[in-house]
């Protein structure tokens, strides 16, 4: 079909193609068939022998712990793509000998958990380093900023850790794909186990991080828990990077509130949760942290005991792909990988496999190879990368924090429920997807 | 919760948040006031204090950084909190002496900009060294067991015990330092040096030793602040920078060189933060700068600062 669409070649395309073959000839990459078959777009065709991936991770700011673990996983993914190992050996299409005979090279940059700096980092990777694909994240504001840039520059972006509804909703773009679930699905996944545990008729209070991610968590929690019969007392925005939440927490009405949602992530989440515990709020109410991860749990210590939440992935999820990844990561770094690490690794390999399926790095073809693709090799059960909004439809792990005495290196949660994908999500014309317009392929 | 209880809670929160800034700011203020040395590395001393406190108090599992690579994954002495409160200031006092001798002293007669560049660079170096050793991840500094609960206060209701201790410990240390500066010969020399260093030297008093002591005491205070403030927030290499800026504002508001000024400034900053959070959270950070700007416009020398005598 894709080729069919290309039948009516516009004048512009002819010029582009002429340019491409000219460029290809100049650069001496005449051996690459794809360079002649497809017009140049973004950083395609790839100049030289190596394909460069750009990894945009936060190495400073409130999400830097997550960023470090992501970077480890990215390096591991590149190593496996070039030399085999890990999932490369068990996935169809990947050879362990580079991707489409190109060696994979990478550059990494600090987003500082800040959209402006992230945009600069990404632009440098696209323009100077000629990255064919970018991946990264840990803040939805950052991910959305980068994916908008990528759409403009026609460079593919594999979202890593971004959980805002808007990433594949209002702000969705053709060149970006998200494996991570979103706030909408988190709220859906939390409702059954949480209402079962705490009862049907509860009053809740929310503190949320005041940017795109926190806002969508807040609205999703409000929507689904209100629908389940709970009622919201109040929700209060807190600036990203707040250290001392005591003033916010002391305003939570202790007598009225049954459940407190702390919609914070990373260091902010660790701080707000441990401060809530130190103020004894857990004695008067239940606490829920909608999105959790391991570095965060580690920084919060014993404060996470009994606290519900969801995680991107956890090493305790016991199946072949999960165990293979945990093993490979442990062999390399002598540590248990976190959820963000698994996402980073999965997203990189998913892109590489799509390139192999497409038989070219030409972005529109790679995008088509991913759209509507069904897979079952991420350790999350059967998944679908939906065509209408590029949002993976997948299971969501609901977890509960372990008491300090039972916490071990890399193990902080018990998995309550691996909520299957068919009980979650929304149709293409509803929820966040209703506002998604992906934009052009070329 | 009644309005009165709410107001009192906010004020108590503000007092506690201000207390940490007071501890950091006193050191900053007396070093700046006496030695005329702008120490941007003062936040790094807080950082050193927190990490040393963590190591003395608890056993921590390092999963990142060089220490982990070298095989030192569980480290720490597990001696508890009180030993940390004594040992850490002594160690950081030592760090302060070294800093005075080898970093500050050669720069006393250089312009402020040189001092700022030097100490800012040093702060970054120290921060990076900690990042290399311990990794960039955050650690959980558990509250001491004897103060980990909540206390019931009249009107306010429950309040975290540790936060009350912070106010208490800060108050005790402030009294101690105030006594040292106001009622001892050492303090007399320091105060005289603050007003007019040249005159003191003309009177035959060699200022280099008191200067060394001032720097050491200031550093030790930052170290204590690090230990006391450690359990409030997750510990990572950025905490030094985060505490430095509000502390400078405290010095500016209170008046350089004045201990009472640092206390007043610290309380004002803490209260502004807490009240702004209750009233208009988005403006809480802006609030403290507005406060500083207003004070500087009305009283350039700070609320309790004295006009410069020396040119």
Q: What are the tokens at A347?
A: 């997203």
Cβ–Cβ below 8 Å for B138 and A59? no
Cβ–Cβ below 8 Å for B1 and A253? yes
Cβ–Cβ below 8 Å for A409 and B61? yes
Q: What are the tokens at B225?
A: 């602040």
Cβ–Cβ below 8 Å for A295 and B143? no
- Residues, chain A, total? 442
pLDDT band at B71; cut points 50, 70, 90: confident
Q: What are the tokens at A206?
A: 């929310």
Say if residue B309's pLDDT is above 50: no
Cβ–Cβ below 8 Å for A280 and B150? yes
Relative orientation angle of helices A339-358 and A320-333, to the nearest 10 degrees: 110
Tell me if B307 sits within 8 A of B256, measured CB to CB: no
CA distance A324 to A252: 44
What's residue A10's pLDDT?
54
Alpha-carbon radius of gyration of chain B: 20
List residues in chain B touching A: CB distance below 8 A.
1, 6, 9-10, 13-14, 16-17, 61, 63-64, 135-140, 142-143, 148-150, 157-160, 162-163, 231-234, 236, 238, 242, 273-274, 277-278, 281-282, 284-285
- For residue A388, give every residue at least 6 positions away whose Cβ sits within 8 Å of its Cβ, in sequence order, or none: A428, A433, A436, A438
* Smallest CA–CA distance from A63 into chain B, residue: B137
Q: What is the mean pLDDT of residues B193-206?
A: 85
Taking the CA of residue A365 and the nearest CA in chain B, the distance in Å comes to 39
Residue of B239, B184, B265 lying closest to B217 (CA atoms)? B184
Using an 8 Å CB-CB cutoff, list chain A residues near B10.
247, 250
CA distance A45 to A42: 8
Q: What is the mean pLDDT of residues B213-234?
A: 94
Using an 8 Å CB-CB cutoff, list chain B residues near A59.
136
The residue to which tokens 């073809």 are assigned: A365
- For residue B214, give every residue at least 6 positions away whose Cβ sits within 8 Å of its Cβ, in sequence order, or none: B30, B31, B34, B35, B190
- Name which of A207, A208, A246, A270 to mutate to probe chain B: the one with the most chain B Cβ atoms within 10 A of its Cβ: A246
**Cβ-nearest to B234 among A60, A239, A267:** A267
The residue to which tokens 């750009």 are assigned: A54
Residue A189's alpha-carbon distances to A411, A419, B49, in angstroms, are 21, 6, 43
Taking the CA of residue B62 and the nearest CA in chain A, the distance in Å comes to 10
Cβ–Cβ below 8 Å for B138 and A244? no
pLDDT tens across A135-180, in order? 998 788 999 999 999 999 999 999 999 999 999 999 999 999 999 9
Q: What is the mean pLDDT of chain A?
A: 88
* Smallest CA–CA distance from A245 into chain B, residue: B277
**Cβ-nearest to A271 among B6, B163, B233:** B233
Using an 8 Å CB-CB cutoff, list chain A residues near B148.
278
pLDDT band at A9; cut points 50, 70, 90: very low
Say if residue A102's pLDDT is above 70: yes
Q: What is the mean pLDDT of residues A355-361?
A: 94
What's residue B308's pLDDT?
55
pLDDT band at B183; cut points 50, 70, 90: very high
Relative orientation angle of helices B3-35 and B161-183, to the nearest 10 degrees: 30
- For residue A238, give every residue at least 6 positions away whose Cβ sits within 8 Å of its Cβ, in sequence order, or none: A207, A208, A209, A210, A214, A245, A248, A264, A268, A272, B281
The predicted complex's ipTM stands at: 0.83
């Amino acid at each position: 079909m894709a080729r069919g669409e290309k039948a009516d070649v516009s004048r512009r395309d002819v010029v582009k193609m002429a340019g491409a073959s000219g460029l290809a000839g100049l650069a001496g990459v005449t051996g690459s068939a794809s360079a002649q078959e497809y017009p140049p777009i973004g950083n395609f065709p790839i100049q030289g022998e190596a394909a460069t991936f750009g990894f945009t991770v936060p190495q400073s700011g409130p999400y830097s712990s997550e960023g470090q673990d992501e970077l480890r996983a990215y390096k591991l993914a590149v190593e496996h793509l070039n030399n085999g190992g890990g999932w490369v050996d068990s996935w169809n299409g990947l050879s362990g000998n580079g991707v489409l005979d190109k060696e994979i090279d990478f550059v990494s940059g600090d987003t500082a958990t800040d959209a402006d700096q992230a945009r600069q980092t990404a632009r440098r990777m696209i323009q100077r380093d000629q990255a064919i694909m970018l991946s990264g994240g840990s803040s939805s504001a950052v991910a959305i900023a980068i994916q908008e840039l990528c759409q403009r520059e026609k460079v593919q972006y594999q979202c890593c850790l971004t959980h805002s509804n808007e990433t594949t909703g209002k702000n969705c773009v053709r060149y970006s794909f998200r494996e991570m679930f979103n706030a909408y699905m988190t709220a859906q996944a939390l409702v059954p186990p949480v209402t079962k545990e705490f009862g049907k008729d509860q009053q809740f209070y929310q503190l949320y991080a005041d940017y795109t991610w926190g806002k969508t968590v807040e609205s999703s929690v409000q929507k689904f828990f209100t629908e389940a019969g709970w009622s919201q007392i109040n929700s209060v925005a807190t600036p990203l990077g707040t250290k001392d939440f005591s003033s916010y927490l002391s305003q939570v009405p202790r007598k009225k509130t049954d459940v407190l949602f702390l919609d914070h992530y990373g260091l902010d989440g660790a701080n707000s949760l441990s401060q809530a515990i130190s103020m004894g709020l857990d004695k008067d109410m239940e606490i829920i942290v909608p999105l959790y991860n391991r570095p965060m749990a580690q920084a919060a210590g014993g404060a996470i005991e009994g606290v519900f939440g969801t995680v991107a992935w956890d090493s305790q999820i016991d199946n072949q792909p999960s165990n293979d990844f945990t093993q490979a990561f442990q062999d390399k770094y002598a540590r248990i990988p976190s959820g963000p690490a698994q996402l980073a690794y999965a997203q990189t390999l998913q892109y590489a496999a799509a390139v192999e399926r497409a038989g070219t790095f030409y972005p529109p073809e790679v995008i088509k190879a991913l759209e509507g693709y069904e897979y079952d090799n991420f350790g999350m059960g059967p998944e679908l990368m939906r065509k209408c909004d590029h949002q993976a439809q997948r299971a969501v792990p609901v977890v509960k924090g372990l008491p300090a005495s039972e916490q071990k290196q890399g193990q902080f949660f018990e998995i309550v429920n691996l909520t299957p994908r068919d009980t979650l999500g929304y149709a293409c014309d509803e929820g966040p997807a209703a506002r998604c317009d992906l934009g052009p392929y070329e | 919760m009644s309005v009165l209880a709410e107001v009192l809670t906010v004020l108590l929160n503000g007092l506690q948040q201000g207390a940490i800034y007071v501890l950091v700011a006193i050191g900053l203020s007396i070093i700046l006031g006496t030695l005329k040395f702008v120490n941007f590395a003062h936040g790094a001393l807080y950082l050193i204090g927190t990490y040393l406190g963590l190591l003395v108090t608890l056993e921590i599992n390092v999963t990142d950084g060089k220490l982990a690579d070298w095989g030192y994954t569980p480290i720490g002495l597990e001696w508890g909190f009180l030993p940390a409160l004594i040992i850490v200031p002594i160690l950081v006092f030592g760090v302060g002496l070294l800093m005075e001798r080898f970093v500050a002293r050669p720069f006393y007669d250089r312009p402020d900009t040189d001092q700022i560049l030097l100490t800012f660079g040093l702060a970054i170096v120290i921060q990076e060294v900690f990042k290399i050793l311990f990794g960039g991840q955050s650690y959980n500094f558990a509250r001491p067991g004897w103060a980990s609960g909540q206390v019931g206060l009249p009107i306010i209701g429950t309040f975290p015990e540790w936060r009350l201790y912070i106010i208490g410990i800060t108050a005790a240390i402030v009294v101690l330092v105030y006594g040292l500066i106001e009622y001892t010969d050492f303090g007399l020399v320091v105060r005289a040096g603050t007003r007019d260093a040249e005159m003191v030297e003309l009177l035959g008093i060699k200022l280099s030793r008191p200067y060394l002591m001032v720097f050491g005491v200031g550093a030790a205070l930052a170290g204590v602040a690090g230990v006391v403030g450690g359990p409030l927030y997750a510990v990572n290499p950025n905490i030094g920078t985060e505490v430095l800026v509000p502390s400078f504002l405290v010095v500016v508001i209170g008046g350089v060189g004045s201990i009472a000024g640092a206390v007043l400034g610290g309380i004002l900053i803490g209260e502004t933060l807490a009240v702004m959070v209750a009233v208009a959270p988005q403006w809480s950070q802006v609030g403290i700068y507005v406060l500083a700007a207003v004070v500087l416009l009305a009283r350039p020398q700070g609320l309790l600062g004295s006009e410069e005598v020396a040119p």
